[in-house]
């Protein structure tokens, strides 16, 4: 078979897999903390390639890799200074190509993190833009004159604290930054900016990536008139996307983000992606009040993004049967064809084993139950490295903090370092098999007992619970892509019905710490095995232990 024939065959196979993302499980890798092969204490792309067999053993469909581009690392890669290169701490472009080839050989798709709402302030685009008011890139970033009294143009706030405006003494203007002052926001109202970031996406598509995770997808556009954001009533405030101590939560961000122009840009991005077979994107929606509505807007209609995730299951509030029902009611009212991608953990939030597990007597049983619940919801699923091990949030001392967000809001908010500590592979090694050098963040002693080698061959371990659960999900079309109805959501009991074709599955969850017996209206339920839960069904009654689940097939 010649190369042309091989390429044609591959394109045909990929085209047939166009909807691989629907119901997929995506494993998020934070490369700094996954596996170090160079001995510098920071993970790298070669380390990801080395651990691909482990990832494949979980039964996931794809990996999402947090940024590895060249960066000054003030926000650990989410401040990009060169979109088309690999930062030397992570390796080389050749290492990236080898990693993709290894992932594909193991049947895994590869999605990369595109951070295009802002750049680093040392990016050549910004260096040129700030040099004068009349250079070729003068309008590539969001610049504005001061008010007559010298104060910033409006009241917009940065998520990382303080005003969203920074004075530049060269242009004698303010520039906008939604995050660190060293992360200036691109001006998406400029068509050249849109073309430039689309060229970035094309570069990596040409290198063989299967899709993107789009950082802060609703932050691309700002209000042209720079109108002040209104204050947000106290009763509408929450800590979904920013900690409660952050005054960012006190505004309704009507003008600083989530602008209507964003939809047309997402259509342009989707059109580019459609030039390649079987490409998908998942967008991160950072909005505490309208996250689900924006998810519906950005994924409905089939001409924008395939998936988005909001922060409803990443928030501090413990999920209840009623809150799960409310999420799906809101989403359904916004759009019938929206496609969510659920997550209860990522590199920005306190690990759920601490965030929610600290409130219960049996943390392990509770986290197993929540894993079963997430795997049963309509949509795709993101699984953050270490979540499958049941890792808790690390308690990092102030003098060891790396995250500028945590340093700014210490001690009420300790930042994101606690969920970013290195992956634990070998429980008998001081560095947990992560590195031969000193890890960039300390590895908690309590994580060593949860290492991969300590759980790998243990029946009923959290790791093997996830493997069994994901295999169960993959084996049933109704759980992957079926419709979903909530039949009961009260008093700690959540009953979900999933349907696809001739298959109907009843998923019953006991979110309480008490044993529960439930009478089912359908007497023709057949209990399903091949999962790790112990719920029983006898004589029309489902018997559930604390934090237990039951899955049954209905004919």
Residue 412, classified by CB atoms within 10 Å of its CB into exposed (0-12), middle (13-18) or buried (19+), is: exposed
Which entry of 79, 185, 215, 497 is annotated as an active-site residue? 215
Instruction: Measure the CA–CA gap between 255 and 234, rounded to whole angstroms.
Output: 19
Cα distances from 130 to residues 207, 312, 343, 490, 523, in angstroms, run 32, 38, 38, 56, 71
Examine the residue annotation and report whether 275 is marked as an active-site residue of this protein.
Answer: yes
Joined tokens for residue 208 = 């063989």
Are the C-beta atoms of 416 and 347 separated by less than 8 Å? yes
Rounded to 5 degrees, what are φ and ψ at 517? -120, 125
Cβ burial of 343 (10 Å; 0-12, 13-18, 19+) is buried
Q: How many CB atoms lie within 10 A of CB 307?
A: 26
Residue in the structure block whose two tokens are 């061959």? 457
Instruction: Find the catalytic residue in 149, 191, 206, 275.
Output: 275
d(CA 221, CA 173): 19
Q: Quick one: which H or E segment has residue 404? A: helix 404-409
Q: How far is CA 21 from CA 160, 239, 275, 449, in A?
A: 32, 29, 17, 34
Assess whether 395 carries a catalytic annotation. Answer: no
Active centre residues (catalytic): 215, 275
């Amino acid at each position: 078979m010649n190369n042309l024939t091989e390429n044609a065959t591959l394109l045909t196979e990929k085209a047939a897999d166009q909807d691989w993302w629907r119901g997929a499980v995506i494993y998020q890798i934070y490369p700094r903390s996954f596996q170090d092969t160079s001995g510098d204490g920071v993970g790298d792309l070669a380390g990801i390639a080395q651990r691909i067999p482990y990832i494949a053993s979980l039964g996931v469909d794809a990996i999402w890799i947090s940024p590895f581009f060249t960066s000054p690392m003030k926000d650990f890669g989410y401040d990009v200074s060169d979109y088309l290169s690999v930062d030397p701490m992570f390796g080389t472009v050749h290492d990236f190509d080898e990693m993709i080839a290894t992932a594909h050989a193991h049947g895994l798709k590869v999605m990369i993190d595109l951070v295009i709402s802002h750049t680093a302030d040392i990016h050549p685009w910004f260096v040129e833009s700030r040099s004068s008011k009349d250079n070729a890139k003068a309008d590539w970033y969001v610049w504005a004159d001061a008010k007559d009294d010298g104060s910033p143009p409006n009241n917009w706030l940065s998520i990382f604290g303080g005003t969203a405006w920074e004075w530049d003494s060269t242009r004698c203007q303010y520039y906008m930054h939604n995050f660190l002052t060293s992360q200036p926001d691109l001006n998406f109202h400029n068509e050249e900016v849109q073309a430039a970031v689309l060229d970035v996406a094309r570069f990596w598509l040409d290198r063989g990536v299967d899709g993107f995770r789009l950082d802060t997808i609703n932050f691309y556009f700002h209000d042209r008139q720079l109108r002040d954001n209104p204050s947000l009533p106290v009763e509408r405030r929450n800590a979904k996307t920013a900690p409660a101590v952050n005054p960012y939560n006190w505004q309704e961000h009507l003008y600083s983000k989530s602008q209507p122009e964003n939809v047309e840009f997402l259509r342009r991005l989707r059109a580019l992606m459609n030039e390649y077979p079987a490409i998908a994107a998942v967008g991160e929606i950072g909005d505490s009040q309208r996250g689900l509505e924006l998810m519906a807007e950005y994924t409905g209609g089939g001409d924008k993004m395939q998936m988005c995730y909001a922060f409803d299951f990443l928030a501090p509030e413990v999920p209840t049967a009623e809150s799960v029902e409310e999420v799906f009611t809101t989403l359904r009212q916004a759009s019938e064809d929206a496609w969510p991608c659920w997550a209860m953990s990522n590199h920005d939030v306190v690990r759920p084993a601490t965030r929610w597990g600290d409130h219960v007597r049996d943390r392990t049983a509770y986290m197993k139950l929540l894993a079963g619940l997430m795997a049963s919801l309509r949509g795709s699923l993101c699984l953050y490295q270490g979540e499958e091990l049941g890792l808790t949030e690390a308690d990092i001392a102030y003098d060891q903090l790396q995250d500028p967000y945590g340093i700014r809001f210490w001690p009420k908010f300790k930042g994101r370092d606690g969920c970013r500590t290195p992956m634990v592979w070998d429980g008998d090694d001081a560095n947990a098999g992560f590195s031969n050098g000193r890890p960039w963040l300390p590895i908690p002693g309590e994580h060593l007992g949860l290492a991969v080698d300590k759980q790998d061959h243990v029946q009923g371990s959290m790791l093997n619970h996830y493997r069994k659960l994901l295999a169960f999900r993959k084996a049933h079309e109704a759980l992957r892509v079926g419709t979903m109805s909530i039949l009961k959501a009260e008093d700690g009991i959540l009953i979900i019905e999933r349907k696809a074709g001739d298959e109907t599955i009843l998923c019953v969850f006991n979110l309480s710490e008490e044993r529960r017996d439930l009478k089912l209206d359908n007497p023709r339920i057949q209990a399903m095995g091949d999962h790790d839960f112990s719920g029983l069904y006898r004589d029309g009654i489902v018997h559930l232990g604390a934090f237990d689940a039951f899955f049954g097939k209905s004919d």
